[in-house]
Amino acid sequence: MILPPGPAARDGDGPGAVAARLTGRAVTGLRTLSGSLAEAVLDDGRVVVVKRTTDAEAARAEAAGLRWLAGAGTVRVPAVHGHHEGWLVLDRVTRGRPSREAAVGFGRDLAGLHAAGAPAFGAPPPGGPVEAYIGAAPMRNVTGDDWPGWYAGHRVLPYLRRAVDAGAVRPAEARLVERVCERLEELSGPAEPPARLHGDLWNGNVLWGADGGVRLIDPAAHGGHRETDLAMLALFGCPHGEAVLDGYREVAPLADGWETRVGVHQLFPLLVHAVLFGRGYAERALAVARAAAAG
């Protein structure tokens, strides 16, 4: 069945109708990729991805984040066709193989993204909600001018409390992370201005295109410390990770001692994972907290 373009799609419609509405094109084919993703073929031959998010605010946050990243004019993201009631429609990225050349270019572009800046630590993208998400976990974009205090109060400690409540972190263990937060002023290195972050920069959100370029998807975009994106990228590994760093440092050298601060910046995503997935990630968070406290 060919689904016509225009305003026919409504809240209860499926991905084909949503794609037709948000692109203004008829949909000639539809393929389900997962429970939340589908590909729609448009009548002009283009293929778009239709994503079902947690709720309308999650779709709004993701669309705003992608547009904010694109607005820096450095990193590439799939074009956003629109969002509606928890649905999001994006251009499909034709996948290719990772290469060192693409990784170096990505590193340079990531440095440019960070340099584009943000109004404050925790600032949401223009048009994005305060109540946003990182993956499936709620994330509040509350602003602050001081990174150590903001990072402790609005990134690490809220997820530590949730992890304790969920039973992933024992109350006695939580004190170790709290001590790291108390020392963030001395552990965080030289002060830096707010960077424009992707915010959830693990390898699964880095798409290596068939054209040799890299696209970023699924941001939890906000103003933050640039080392947080780099620490997230290292957390689960990235193809040609050293080449990414080489390209990054060509454009924007990192402050002395950045290697020793990687664990501090990984506390936030590890605690998010502990909340979502349990004790294994909590143990990793406690290990990096222990190493940071000993430093």
Catalytic residue set: 200
Place of tokens 């602003």: 143
Buried b (16+ CB within 10 A) or exposed e, 13-24: bebbbbbbbbbe
Q: Is the dihedral of CA 59, 65, 70, 76 positive or negative?
A: negative
CA distances for 215 relative to 80, 205, 284, angstroms = 13, 8, 29
Partners of residue 50 on adjacent β-strands: 38, 89
Instruction: Using the Cα atoms of residue 245, residue 195, residue 257 and residue 134 in order, give the sign of their dihedral.
Output: negative
Secondary structure class of 223 (helix, strand, coil): strand
What are the CA-CA distances from residue 212 to residues 11, 201, 202, 234, 239 (Å)?
37, 19, 19, 21, 14
How far apart CA 140 and CA 197 sit, in angstroms, is 15
